[in-house]
Structures are given as C-alpha cells and as structure tokens.
Structure 1
Amino acid sequence: MSFPFHLPLILDGATGTNLIAAGMPSGVCVEQWILEHPEKLLALQRAFLEAGSNAVMAPTFGANREKLAAYGLQDQVEEINLKLVALSKEAAGPFHALVGGDVSPAGVMIEPYGDLTFDELYDIYLEQICALKKAGVDFIALETQMSLADLRAGVLAAKEAGLPVFATITVEGNGRTIMGTKFLPVLITLQALGAAAVGLNCSTGPEVMEELLEGAVSHAQVPLIAKPNAGKPSQEDPAVYPLSPAEFAEKMESLLAAGAQIVGGCCGSTPEHIRALAQTVENTYRELAPQEPDHFAAAIESESFFLGDDISLSEPLECSYDLGDDLIDIEDEQVNAALVEVSSIDDAKLLIENASMTRLPIVVRIHNLDVLEYTLRNFQGRLIVDSACDLEEEEMRPIVDYYGAILY
C-alpha cells in the first residue's frame, strides 16, 4: 500500500500546553472546554498552518467513551467528535491542509491484566473512529500509545472504517513505553497490519528518538514519524519546556537524517517551533530509498525476530500451564523458532499469556479456522503460521493476511 499523502509531511505542534497558556484551567474536560472556547483552538491551529504545518490534529485526543465517562459525557462520543473536527476543518480549509483525527490510549487494560476483552477494547476505538470518519477527517492518528493491544485495536478499527492510520508510541529514557513495549516490534507488527505510518511522539524529547529511528529505518516499509516534546519539562515548572524554536529545529534535523519523513511537535512546541521546523525540512529533507521487505520478521511486544527462508522449528509444544517454562527451555536447542500447537481458544489464551517468555519467534500450528482467527486477532505481536496443518492455504491466506501474520 502506497502512502496516501505527499512527503515530507509537517504536522502541527502541541495542543494541550498551548491551550493552557491561553487560559485553559487544569482538571477540566479538554474537549468540552474547547467547544466552549472555540476561538482559542481556531487561533492556535491557524497559527500552526501559517507557520508551515501541512496537517492539524482535531482535538479529539480524549474523546472516547472511557475518557469522556470521567465527565459524564460517555454518551456524546459522536456529537463531541463531530463538533471538534468541524472546528479543525474550519481552520484548515483556507490552507488546503489535512485534518487528522487524534486518538489517545483507551485508558483500560485487557485480559489477563484487566477486565476487558480485546474485542471490547476494539469497540471503544471503533466507536470513536467511525465518528471521526463521519466528521470527515483525512486520517486517524493513534498518539501517545503505550501498548500493542491499544495500537492493534486502533489500527484494526481504522482499517474497518477505511481510513489511513498513523500510529505513534511514547517512550521513556530507556527506549520503552511504561508498558515495556519497544519501538521496533511496534513497527514490524503495525506495518504488516496495515498502518500507513509508524513512529514516536511526546517521550522525553528528540534525543531518545534518534537512536530508535536509526535502528528501525532499515526495516521500515512505511514512513516514520517523529513528533517529540520541546525537551524535558522543567522540574520546577512542568509546563515549561526548555528547547527554543531554533534548538528544537536543530534537534529535528538529526531526526530527519535518521529517517523521519513525517515530523511535528508535541508538548511545549509552539507555532514558532513549527516555523523553525518547516525551514529545517525545506533545507535538509532527503527522500529515502525504499527498503527490501523483511519477509520473515516476527515480533512480540518487547522483541523483534528476523529470520531467513531457512526456519528450523522446535518439536511441537503443547499449550499447557508449563508453556512459559517450555518456551524458555527451548532456547537451549539448536532451533531458531518455537513451534506451538494451538488446538482451541483456551490454548490461544495460554499462548497469549506466555508469549513474553520466548526469545525465539513463535510459529503456530492450528487446524481450525475459528481458532486461527481468534489467535491472530488477539496475539499482541506478529506470528508465523505453519502451513503444515489440516487447513488449505486458500482458507488460511485471507485471515493470515488481514492480521499481518506470516504463512510459512
């Protein structure tokens, strides 16, 4: 799938920190406050567009039913998203700019760590993304994400709605999200699932992003996004970010050199930061050569695995309560992939719970289409599916392709 928009693409800067500077009090529902003070958003987004942004994000970041429930607004998801997108389209129209539908983490945990199923998480995203489609956004932006479960639910929902989706995670200084998710597995998983672009936003500033982008660019089949904060916030005043527009633009030059093709700013970035960034893009952007696809790149939340055509499978492992130990023990064998027999949905649940124990790519052997669909839908990563089973390839292929898995 080719990228649907012109590159390079310059996004906007911060919404929240700029609205706070414009008078938004803490503790309010941001989305409701904006609807009560539309002139504040319009002025901010027009300033970003005048500074050089090619796209603005509708301020729908927390406009899902779980986040809105904190303010008793959970039944107004569609109404709120429609009104907020209309404001951004009003700002963007004279500039012929794109409008993205901004989508936050849902704010809930799925099994086995929480009460919701993956499908219930997916429904939260689908409700908001369908409202954003109805409102007329050009793309969905899953931003400040922390887990593959949220990311995959959002990408699948955008896929169902027929909208391009950008997906970005926020990482700590160690290069992981607070959930332990790493960037390269996210890229491997989401580009196979159908994301239009993948990258990083917010985080601790531009520095940590450079190394992650450099490590990912050779595996990227989609444009990479870099949308950092304007440095680390001040310890004395968390609303103050240290990088000036010129300093921010200088840091962004390194991210462009590392492979970013879609750039913008997150917390602390003002229209002047975007103006300096736009000048840097004009002066330094270079088109990247397309990368050869990694045909056998598999992933779990915290690890990526790259295999050639020669895959040496372990002896089949059963999905028992010892599966975690079995996956650890297999590392001592002369194999490069762990073969797991998945015979039922209960087996699939055991695999999903224990997948983090592996240090080898996981190959599943499944003989039932319903079990195959459940496993690929709910596994947070990218699996390899063994074709040596009772199912015909033409039966398996549509399911495997839809979920971005590998048929071997």
Structure 2
Amino acid sequence: MTPDPVAARVEMVAELAGSGALGRGPVRDALLALPREVLIPQAYVRRSAPGEQPPRWDLLDWTAPGDREELLAVLYGGGSVLIQHDGEPVLGRTRGARSAGSITSMSTVMSVTASLLQELELRPGQRVLDVGTGAGVTAAVACHVCGDAGVVSLDRDRHVVDAARTRLGELGFRPAVVCGAGEQGLPSSAPYDRILVSFAVPRVPDALVDQLAPGGRLLVHVTTASPSWPGLAIVTREPEGRIAAELRAVEFAHRAGHGMERIVLSRAFLERIAGEPGRTTRRSRTAPPADTARGLWLAVGHLYGGLVRDFGAGPDQLVIGAPGCGSWLRVRPDGHGRWAVTTSGPRDIWDEIQDVAARWRAAGEPGSYPLVIDPGGAQRAGTRCGRLSWQLAEPSARADGSPR
C-alpha cells in the first residue's frame, strides 16, 4: 500500500483538534497545507533499547521507497521528530545507521507547537521572530499565515539554518533564516509583532523583550534546572509601551536551551529510592497534591530548587529526588485511607511541598502568576500579595539543590 501523506496530514490535524490542542483558524489551515515530508525529508528513529549503550539510530529518507511508510508515521505521529545527530550537516546526508553520540536538533511534539502557534494569534502582515529554527515548522506556519516577507527565523546551528532555508524555499517560502544566538534575537530586523522561542530558558531574555513591538506578544518556556514543572511566560507590550507578563504553569515544555544546566534522576538514584527503607516513614491523612495542581508544582520547583519528579513511578506513587544532596521522597497509599510518606537525606521534601501547598491554597490556588520584568534587571513571578513569589534565576545561575 502506497503511503498517503495527505491522509496522514488530515489525520494528524484531526487528532490535534480532538485533543484540544488546535482549534479552527489560520494555524489549522496552515498545518493542513504543510507537507512535512518536504520540510523534513529525513528523520532519525531510535533502534536501541532504553539505557542501551551505545545508542543506535537509523536515518530514514523520503526518497527511499522502503523508508516511506515508517517515516510517514514519524512525521505525522505527533511526537518529536529527530533531525540532527551530533551536530552533523543536515543537507546531503546518506540514509542508514548511526551509533553513539546524541541527537542535537529535533522538531517539537506537535501538540505543544500547535497550541503555542495558536496562542500567538498570527495574522497576515505581522512581523514574526521564530527563535530556534529546528526543522522550520514554526517558520513555515508563520510564512503561510503572515507572509514570508515579515518572518525571521534564528538558530545557532549553521547546518540547521542551511537546511531550513533550503527546504522552506522548496515550499515557496523565502523568510530570513539567520545563524545566531537566539537569546539575543535579531535587533536589525526588529521590532516584531510576534516572538516564539522554541527552547526553555531560566528567565525571559531581556533582548527579546526589547525587540517586541507595541501590541506584540512573546511566548517562551521558563524553567529551573529541573525539567519537572515548567512554566510558559506570556509577555505583551501594550500600545503605549508598557510590558505586561504572566507565568502560566503547563504540563509540557520545550527542551532546555544551549548551555542551560539540567538535573536528572540517575538510574542508580532511582534504584536507591525504590529499594531503601529511608530515614523516616510517617502516616499522613493528607494526600499528595494532584498532578493537575500545576500552579502549586510550578511554585515548588522555583521556591525549593534542585527537585526532580519521577513521572514513571506510577499513578499511585509520588517520587521526588534531590540529586544535589541525595535527599528523596516516596509517597504511597497504605490501604487505610492514609499515605505512607518516606523521606531520606538532609532535606524534608514532604514538608517543603506542604509549605508551598498551604501558601498556594491561601492564594486561591492559582494556575498562573503575574510576572514582573524590570528593564535590564530583575524578573519576579508570584502572587501580588507576595506570599508565594520568587525571583527568576539569572541565565548563568546554577542549581545547588538548596531551598531559596
């Protein structure tokens, strides 16, 4: 059976619409018109098992008939699409196996991309800065909706830039695709009506705020060194020039940007948490906060740094570790309407969570927080009363695992 890209495209858009990630409008029309197999004619699929070393991938190619069915599923399946291995040139590659190294560029999960593009409220004639070109999906949608004359796409990787410029051109689009540091934007083409950053940062880049036009909107994921509880910064410049912003708790975010520190729970640490008795175990009538209480968890991640959640622990457990100091928390139901709370290490993570939970409830259980951006200075998020507020880290700040 011959793979049908048009049918796959329609099905992908229908699934995005059904999940609530995409509504009717120009973004939906653009995604229905965008042949991803032209924009991304090659993509990697992982062949090695989780944890297997060295990792192994195959590069699939649309021009190879034997690859088309699998590649079509990758391109229109809604997941991340892996486009570059170990910083290689993206144009002129031969299909086939790769081993060791790492994936250095990818196209983001489509539900995240679609929802952000929709929230940008793109309109014809707008000037758009796409920061983090990747495969060029955001740039292609912006060109389709706004017209390519006003679209600028920026990426620090020359190979990614060259490939995106070529493939956007094959779609008939001629935006400015430029190599440079995304956090600095491109002042020579500013101001921009819309700015979308496709990687996470520790604070909103001041240079991008400065390049926002009156009436403009900037979207960027803001996270700590932990990947567990991200936020989306929504920044607008009022017609008179004043900056207004909020930090909204979200479930998923872009990957961390270049040079941003990330902390993880190693396999050895997870085995310790699963197998050790811990320092103390107490019985609690208080259930752990729900995953849907994202505003609470966002505050936890900022107010008590260095924590990482193990989302693979199962729906009936809460497992959090602090790799910097070796502390951990394990919460399980004990079968009697109570919870067994086990902690280990110098930090009492359960007490930290309960501290934030009490302040979060007193603040009305917010899911987003006002974000104050001082020109060239501090950025502060939190409730207006100040009981649940925190300073956003400087770009060079490192997580030391200690509470703030």
- TM bucket (normalised to shorter chain) is under 0.3
Q: Which structure has greater helix proportion? A: 1
Give the structure with the larger strand fraction. Answer: 2
TM-score when scaled to structure 2? 0.27
Q: What TM-score does the superposition give when structure 1 sets the normalisation length?
A: 0.27
